[in-house]
Chain A
Amino acid sequence: MALARLRADLGARVRSADAIERRPVRVSSGVAALDAVLGGGLARGAMVEATGSGRASLALQAAAAATGRGALVAWVDAAYGFDARSAVRAGVDCTRLLLAQARGLGEALRAADVVLAGGGFELLVLDRVGAHGRVPDSAWARLARRAEQADACLLVLGERAEAGTFAQVTLRLGHRNVELGPSLLGQITACAEIARAKRRTPLMEAAAGTEIALAPLDLLRRGS
């Protein structure tokens, strides 16, 4: 009787013991189609690189999915480009989002290293778009190792793919089908392509060379 009432109160949150996973090994990207191709989402304990238009939107959706589950997300911004209004509109729980605004690439790399070393964050977004300079291979290796130790997903946003073999997956994104409204830009569709992957799954093989259509994205209305 009491168990039935508890089940009714908690609903779907009550699961049998064997149905509870020990720990999610993937972080949802917030886009079902991309999660399906990646085998469940962005890999934890690894680095994922995203380039092209739509990378920040994808990162915000991943952050929204993670913070929605109660996990903590860190965002290291190398060029003061983070827009809090976009994050709120994307559904990010900003109380669980740690934003570090670095003054350049060097500071951003050090801040990312410290965040990963401290642990406790499921997703770290390293946004290096707009920051000048090149990341040395030793820094990529260190960050990849830190991500592995912290069991966190390190999502690197860049203008070009630079992490090379240190990234488990490299995504190339782009905007397609920009719909023009009467006075506003209406909807655009973001597409993703797996440019490189260390271990290709059958789904990745099937999707190789083709673009994965992400959901249509609404442009943020100014002043709203």
Chain B
Amino acid sequence: MIACLWAPSLPLQALLRAEPELRGQAVAILEQGQVTAMTFAAARQEVRPGMTATAALAVCPHLTLRTPAREIVRAAAAALADVAYGFSPHVEAAEPGWIYFDASGLGRLHETAQDLQKAVLAAAQRVGLSVRVGIGSGKFAAKLRARWREVVVGVLPVEALEPSPEAASRLARWGVRKVADLAALAPPAVGRRLGEEGARLARRARAAIGGQTRGDDPLCPAPAPLRFEEAIELDWALYDVESLAFVVRGLLERLVARLHCRALAASALEVRLALDPRGMHEIQVPLRAPTRQVATMTTLVRLAVAAQPPDRGVTGIAIVARPAPPATDQLSLFDPVPPPPETLQATVARVEAIVGPGHVGSPQVLDSHRPDAQRLIPFAPPRTAAATAPAGPHKVVALRWLPPTEELDALAKVQGARVTAHAGPWRLSADWWREPFERDYYEVRTVSGAIYLVCRNLERWQVVGMFD
């Protein structure tokens, strides 16, 4: 059992998919100076294929004439293939807009061919494409049903079998007008009169009517591509991040729809900005966990672009998503439910945009004798509770580091009347092999009751911290 997906007028559909605001309007595709496809609104205004741009505008003054970029047509074709890969791993991408996939074995999921058809149509609609679906015993039978929307193939004209003009005229002279008429003839006999083409046409007709795979073209599946890219060319350059984010959101929505078809999620994004007049600005946006949340990814891309802004206007945007299986968590019944990793990442990215890169994360104590040896590492809380129960809070006095400007310029200030008690010194030395660090530390209590950590480096005194 083979299913065939046909996206009629793929360039037009690709354009409407990339620019959904054009849906419902009179739009026509212009290729090599001629109209090749148009929307229903344009067709109602008497716009026809083959018209020149001038002629089309003469009959429909509000017509939008566009030539879609190759990137968006390629993305639409890839989206069509993704729909098929969502149903079967055996997919053949034939000529542009035509996809075949092996539908055998799908009976457990979709009881009837109509159910499968509805599911494919719904999946195609999710990626922004309008398709026709045909299901048959072989590729050609499926193609006939998709192309001609007929369940009974026998009533179709012989032209549906795509004969050459010579073969078509001879069949017409014989009075063979329908597929069923040709199927009634023996292929060897037709072959003797019409040659190899006649035999092939007769075999196709028999296969299409009789539900036989013999005689039909074999399915040539290709490995599923794992490249997810959506791109758009802009009519004019964009200079601000918010406008870019608006366009990026549309691209991500289309990417996520395609990933959803394949039961995948994005684990990283690569944003390529085409600059005005030429040049490329690339930004990598790693994602903490594979996600399909458009809002989160839009936020992360917006923050990444704001952190590494292009130096010129942007005339085109392409986003490549690195696919990965969606993250699944085994949560505990007894512990607090952690927020989704992508939400946390968006929060951290937003905070980082405020306080600057490198100033957000989990604190980590470094293995050093320097009392201030600490750093921040990326915030990645475990998704599950610790295997062992926590030891519970240990009651210590917290130290608060003070800005290095707070200095005690003389020993007298430490030993003066303001100090009521002191302890120390403790000599700490570290990093002798790199940047020698040697200080004497004191803990002093002032008359106000506050306890400070004071250090002496040579003859220089400094208040470095306060016990709080």
Scoring B361, B386, B392, B396 by chain A CB atoms within 10 A of each residue's CB, the highest score goes to B396
User: Which of chain A's residues 64-107 have a Cβ closer than 8 Å to chain B?
Assistant: 64-65, 67-72, 79-91, 93-103, 107
Q: A180-B421, A217-B396, A222-B426 in contact; A81/B336 too (CB < 8 A)?
A: no
> Are A84 and B359 in contact, CB atoms less than 8 angstroms apart?
no
- Chain A residues contacting B196 (CB-CB under 8 Å) are none
> Are A185 and B443 in contact, CB atoms less than 8 angstroms apart?
yes
Nearest CB of A to B64, in Å: 40
Q: How far is the CA of A59 from the CA of B398 in the complex (A)?
A: 9
> Are B338 and A120 in contact, CB atoms less than 8 angstroms apart?
yes
Q: How far is the CA of A190 from the CA of B450 in the complex (A)?
A: 12
- Chain B residues contacting A115 (CB-CB under 8 Å) are 347, 351
> Are B401 and A218 in contact, CB atoms less than 8 angstroms apart?
no
Other-chain contact of B369, A69, A183, A215, A223 (Cβ < 8 Å): A223
A110 interfacial contact with B, CB 8 Å: yes
Nearest CB of A to B415, in Å: 16
- Chain B residues contacting A214 (CB-CB under 8 Å) are 395
- Per DSSP, chain A at the interface is mixed
Q: Pick from A49-57, A160-168, A193-201 the stretch touching chain B.
A: A49-57
- Chain B residues contacting A61 (CB-CB under 8 Å) are 393, 395
- Chain B residues contacting A110 (CB-CB under 8 Å) are 354
Q: A81-B400, A102-B355, A180-B421 in contact; A219/B390 too (CB < 8 A)?
A: no
A208 interfacial contact with B, CB 8 Å: no
Other-chain contact of B359, A53, A72, A102, A118 (Cβ < 8 Å): A102
Per-residue 0/1 for A112-133: is the Cβ within 8 Å of any B Cβ (1 yes, 0 no)?
0011011110100000011000
Nearest CB of B to A115, in Å: 6
> Are B468 and A56 in contact, CB atoms less than 8 angstroms apart?
yes
Other-chain contact of A86, B385, B399, B441 (Cβ < 8 Å): B399
Q: How far is the CA of A218 from the CA of B403 in the complex (A)?
A: 24
Scoring A61, A70, A115 by chain B CB atoms within 10 A of each residue's CB, the highest score goes to A70
Nearest CB of B to A133, in Å: 15
Per-residue 0/1 for A152-188: is the Cβ within 8 Å of any B Cβ (1 yes, 0 no)?
0000000000000000000000110010110111001
A45 interfacial contact with B, CB 8 Å: no
Q: A98-B361, A98-B379 in contact; A56/B344 too (CB < 8 A)?
A: no
Nearest CB of B to A126, in Å: 13
Q: A175-B451, A219-B443 in contact; A99/B363 too (CB < 8 A)?
A: yes
Task: Return the chain B residue nearest A89 by Cβ.
Answer: B396
Q: A94-B364, A217-B397 in contact; A130/B403 too (CB < 8 A)?
A: yes
B362 interfacial contact with A, CB 8 Å: yes
B225 interfacial contact with A, CB 8 Å: no
Task: Return the chain B residue nearest A88 by Cβ.
Answer: B365
Q: How far is the CA of A94 from the CA of B180 in the complex (A)?
A: 76
- Chain A residues contacting B302 (CB-CB under 8 Å) are none
Q: How far is the CA of A97 from the CA of B395 in the complex (A)?
A: 18
State the 10 A-B residue pairs at the shortest beta-carbon distance, nearest first.
Answer: A120-B339, A118-B347, A68-B390, A64-B393, A84-B363, A84-B374, A56-B398, A56-B468, A70-B335, A70-B385
Given A102-B355, A120-B339: 5 more A-B contacts, CB < 8 Å: A70-B335, A70-B385, A84-B365, A93-B390, A100-B354
